[in-house]
A and B are shown apart, each in its own frame.
Chain A
Amino acid sequence: MSSDLESLYQDIILDHAKRRVGQGPLEPSSDASSVAASSATGESHQLNPICGDEITLRVWLAESRIERVVWQGAGCAISMASASVLTELVSGGTRDEMMEQLDRFRELMRSRGTIVPDEEILGDAAAFAGVSRFPARVKCAMLAWVALEEAVLAANS
């Protein structure tokens, strides 16, 4: 029981839930100096109607590279930590790498605890492996990833 709880709430997750890397103002022009003028930007808002968890995420892409991710959200430790971990993981990487990470993360979340995550690819996001054994919480972990996917597609269109 409580070892289960600790496998769900790994220290990395509790830490990210508080640090919230990437949480900040969403204005498209904010902090323009750090973003190349040529970059495309896309935004997505996701809501989990069951628990009211919410996130708005904006991404800046320049030549298929993810320059920057910023988000605002409210929700449980799992959903907020997932947004924070994702921001750290994908920033500076390519769009293709991010899509690969998303696929792996989604596969992990659907695994009901049967997959050993590849830390090479998933980095800190591997800490969410325990979430897959709590089906009611998988949506929480996926929320920011779904927002990222949609924001990237919006930036490319």
Chain B
Amino acid sequence: MPILSAPSHPLSNDEVSRIRNDFPLLSSEMNGRPLIYLDSGATSQNPVSVLEAEQEYYEQRNAAVHRGAHTLAVEATDAYEAARTTVASFIGASPEEIVFTSNATEALNLVAYSLSNASLGLGGADARPYALGPGDSIVVTEMEHHANLIPWQELAARTGASLRFIPVDDDGALRLEEAASVIDGSTRLLAFTHASNVLGTINPVEELVSLARGVGALTVLDACQSVPHLPVDVAALDVDFMAFSGHKMLGPTGIGALYGKSKHLHAMPPFLTGGSMITTVTMERAEYLPPPARFEAGTQRISQAVALGSAVNYLVETGMDRIEEWERLLGERLVVGLEQIDGVRVLGPRAGQPRIGLAAFDVDGVHSHDVGQFLDSRGIAVRVGHHCAQPLHRRLGLTASTRASTYLYNTTDEVDAFLAAVADVRSFFGASA
């Protein structure tokens, strides 16, 4: 495979316009207006190369992987494993540390259920250090997506461990001074998000990992909103587990990944069981393959993995540094513009403070559903509701908000059109003074 490299100059509107040509859906119309897609935080659009990679797989290589002697099966297996290698190198991991899952939610559940199984005594002596029980604690943060909260609530319920959280302040920032007391000798696991899907904040991974490490706790990073948008080197972050979803990074739905440090994946018992993850099976018991195969039971999402590999190549060729910088510019433009609109309250960091390219906000006197409907009539797609983060919204005194989230294919003109539309919302609904 050729070594891909990206240009070094920053992204510009001109280059973004060329990038947009690669994304068929972006040139469509919505409600008679050119589509302005500002919901990539929920799911991103796909470049033609990704769509073609999936189709080409089905046209030329489709077979069951790791299960056949025929040439097609070998080619399918090669394509699947090449995708694993591509994804691994994208985040600075080795291929054995990447388990393909259907999405980040499944990746997080995989860790939770494997620990749960270890807590039942499965997995033998190797797995014993991963057992949780009464007296142990699991720590999350108050800003988590439900996907990185409920699996830990359930794990706590199954094992008798307690669940604690690091609170956020009125601006949504993690109260790190409290983290040091929430994380204590009882803490066995700390799960937190890298970048918040609501606030846009980037959490201090190093500080949190060092607190966890100090008490011997495992760390789980929800990288759904970071891996697609900024360069992530998991080895440098030094977390034990990391989860992300392919559909948020130009890939198809149905594919995501769990990164796990090799020593953990080798010691932990499986979550889903069945074919393709075993060595010897008798009527009474089974021996399991080493990771990552141990955690990939049954026929896998081969075409989706191949397409995800293609998506990663697209990102690498564009340059993650450049994408991060471009989205920082779009994010700043969003916040500066929103803060200037009467009756609009931006959640999370103020203008001038670091954030990824998204902004959630409340419009005084207008429910987010109505805001979203109004924007939709102008061809602008945003997310409305609680964005799978009810506790965070409750903490901020809201039940719902509206969120605009950008990606490498959004232009500053689109952000400006969005801001102009938001400025008209309150008068349409008769909410302005």
Is B32 in contact with chain A by the CB < 8 A criterion?
yes
Is B384 in contact with chain A by the CB < 8 A criterion?
yes
0/1 per residue, B361-386, Cβ < 8 Å to A?
Answer: 00000111110011001110000111
Is A4 in contact with chain B by the CB < 8 A criterion?
yes
Interface size class of A (residues with CB under 8 A): 20 to 34
Given that A1-B31, A1-B378 are contacting pairs, would A14 and B399 also be in contact in the complex, using a CB cutoff of 8 Å?
no
Cβ A8 vs Cβ B31 within 8 A = no
Is A52 in contact with chain B by the CB < 8 A criterion?
yes
Given that A77-B429, A137-B369 are contacting pairs, would A5 and B377 also be in contact in the complex, using a CB cutoff of 8 Å?
yes
Cβ B377 vs Cβ A51 within 8 A = no
Given that A51-B369, A77-B367 are contacting pairs, would A2 and B384 also be in contact in the complex, using a CB cutoff of 8 Å?
no
Closest B residue to A50 by beta carbon equals: B385
0/1 per residue, B408-433, Cβ < 8 Å to A?
Answer: 00000000000000000000111000
A residues near B393, Cβ cutoff 8 Å: 52
Is B400 in contact with chain A by the CB < 8 A criterion?
yes
A18 to B428, CA, bound (A): 13
Cβ A76 vs Cβ B367 within 8 A = yes
B residues near A8, Cβ cutoff 8 Å: 373
Count how many chain B residues have C-beta atoms less than 8 Å from C-beta atoms of the other chain: 23
Total inter-chain residue pairs, C-beta < 8 Å = 54
Is B33 in contact with chain A by the CB < 8 A criterion?
yes
Cβ A1 vs Cβ B429 within 8 A = no
Closest B residue to A74 by beta carbon equals: B399
A52 to B394, CA, bound (A): 11
A53 to B369, CA, bound (A): 10
Cβ B385 vs Cβ A52 within 8 A = yes
0/1 per residue, B345-374, Cβ < 8 Å to A?
Answer: 000000000000000000000111110011
0/1 per residue, A1-35, Cβ < 8 Å to B?
Answer: 11011001100001001100000000000000000
A-B contact list, 13 entries, CB within 8 Å? A2-B377, A5-B373, A5-B374, A5-B377, A18-B430, A51-B385, A52-B385, A52-B400, A75-B367, A76-B367, A76-B368, A77-B366, A77-B367
Q: Which residues of A contact B (CB under 8 A)?
A: 1-2, 4-5, 8-9, 14, 17-18, 50-54, 74-78, 134, 137, 140
